[in-house]
Structure 1
């Protein structure tokens, strides 16, 4: 089996369909994994599995999952997901999009079609997630006693400093932040946070309304078409253009969100803050 390099991907540009030759197959449990030269499908990233995989069809067969694979140059074994033994982008390895189906995909050139409705909902959820994180940073800016890294708008980056998990949903997101001793030593003041959540939520929602009404562009920059390319999310917000490293899919303008609502919840022991974002 000769893979011939990393899979080329079209999803950063918004592609939801295409045609490509089959280059390899790999078993995925009791199912079938198919690797093509170029695909519009977004696979689950095992290193930061925030955005779920695209679903759809390949050669008319249902794609029930889409995972990341890797194979060392000159080797035959394709490692999948958490079983990949090296860091993403390690030289000497090809990085692959593996389309999972219940039946084997035929040889030759095949048509790939992503579920466009689901993709759009995930794009909305991911774009809203980034915007809400920036709004949360601004709303919590007065709770820092020490200098910490700033986000693209010049606010202390609470999101990147405290986040422990993020999950993109169809039309929303679910993010969890750790408010432990480490964060407090960095200068974050958590006292009185529970009582302040309604006001913090109001600040976030008002800022989101402003950014959505501004109808500013959102775009992805990528140094190349390979799956391993380090892509960056950009948004031309009124306070300045923001850039965040991101391998997911997104809308093209903030106005496409329509509306975004947030809910903040503090755990009983005050050690975790959960933020839920809902589009529409």
Structure 2
């Protein structure tokens, strides 16, 4: 099987393609098409959940990343033993269904568009919130640090340990341990309510600016190194990203963050919520 051609980076939610393979997915069936609009769960950085929808009229109960070795062995999701995009491997979108469809069949693929929109809004909100958090925490750095695209110390990339996109929101977890302190970040006097207020004010400004958002897509392969861009008032920003997004910041409607510390103070959680209009 050749690597799957994907159309979700362009915002597609429907398509028609031939089933080119079927692989075991536990007790279910993993259907592979030549091309697909479905966004699968990424096995390397599983932040955005898989799309929902149908293939050939069958419900897609899961959608995962698959990889085929040079010897033809197929691995799915967490069982993939190599890094994303490793040379010599083919990379697949695997649509998991309860029933089989014969290889060679032409099928319609339909993504749940409302669910996709909610995840796209959550993912764009996640990136903007990370940048807003960087700005709000800039005064807590005691040493020179790596900077984000807006020139603020990049707390997000220096401390993040997990990120999860949810419909119309996201949950990001950050480590506030010894390694971050060595990099120069100080949590002394950290007022989470004030930090959240500053981040919310920034998000309100960026959403009101109706800034364009787009994805740079070098090719149609699943593992292509895609990049998220947003032309904010302060300047254009870019972040490597394999997910889906809204096309303008105004589509988020409104956004807010809440910040909580773990009981021992070693971790910070940011929950971002957006409220798209209509």
Category of TM-score, reference length = shorter chain: over 0.9
The CA distance in 2 between the partners of 1:53 and 1:250, in whole Å, is 14
The CA distance in 2 between the partners of 1:64 and 1:233, in whole Å, is 28
The CA distance in 2 between the partners of 1:150 and 1:218, in whole Å, is 21
Unpaired runs of at least 5, structure 2: none
Name the structure 2 match of 1:112.
109
Unpaired runs of at least 5, structure 1: none
TM-score when normalising by structure 1: 0.97
1:181-220 equivalences in 2 (<5 Å): 181-193=178-190, 196-220=191-215
Name the structure 1 match of 2:241.
246
1:84-123 equivalences in 2 (<5 Å): 84-107=80-103, 108-123=105-120
1:1-280 equivalences in 2 (<5 Å): 3=1, 5-73=2-70, 75-107=71-103, 108-193=105-190, 196-280=191-275
Contact preservation (8 Å) 1:174, 1:277: yes
The CA distance in 2 between the partners of 1:31 and 1:269, in whole Å, is 42
How far apart are residue 207 of structure 1 and its match?
A: 0.4
Contact preservation (8 Å) 1:88, 1:228: yes
How far apart are residue 77 of structure 1 and its match?
A: 2.2
Contact preservation (8 Å) 1:24, 1:34: yes
TM-score when normalising by structure 2: 0.97
Contact preservation (8 Å) 1:68, 1:80: yes
RMSD: 0.7
The CA distance in 2 between the partners of 1:222 and 1:34, in whole Å, is 25
The CA distance in 1 between the partners of 2:44 and 2:243, in whole Å, is 13
The CA distance in 2 between the partners of 1:148 and 1:103, in whole Å, is 52
The CA distance in 2 between the partners of 1:13 and 1:105, in whole Å, is 27
TM superposition outliers: structure 1 runs of 4+ over 6 Å:
none
The CA distance in 1 between the partners of 2:101 and 2:58, in whole Å, is 7
The CA distance in 1 between the partners of 2:83 and 2:257, in whole Å, is 34
Contact preservation (8 Å) 1:6, 1:228: no
The CA distance in 2 between the partners of 1:267 and 1:71, in whole Å, is 40
Q: Secondary structure at the match of 1:211?
A: helix
